[in-house]
Amino acid sequence: AVVSTQSTGGLGETDDEILETLHDLRANGVDVVTFGQYMQPTVRHLKVKEYVTPEKFAEWQRIGDEMGFAYVASGPLVRSSYKAGELYIKNILKKRSARNEA
């Protein structure tokens, strides 16, 4: 199985908190991580504290890649159901299945 998770930025998280979370995810066998921008769906929900910059999303992408995640998608519109990620996950499962059958 491929283990994946989504992290949403813009609620006041710090770089240290993101880095600690990434280390915890890798230590616990997570293969795929996606980063997206939190958007307040209604006035009853938490307000956006900041809009994450494209440079910050690129940094999270680079760090995740360097940490050895099988796949990282990072950008303001990325969600856990991100299509590129889904296709990549299917490919990983196919490769693992072929390796196990050999």
For 34-54, how does the pLDDT look when each residue is reduced to its tens digit (9 = 90+)? 999 999 999 999 999 999 999
- Which pTM was predicted? 0.76
- Per-residue pLDDT 10s for the chain (102 aa) are 778 888 899 999 999 999 999 999 999 999 989 999 999 999 999 999 999 999 999 999 999 999 999 888 899 988 766 555 666 676 677 777 888 887
Q: What is the pLDDT of residue 79?
A: 77
- CB within 8 A of 93, min separation 6: which ones? 1, 2
CA distance 43 to 22: 30
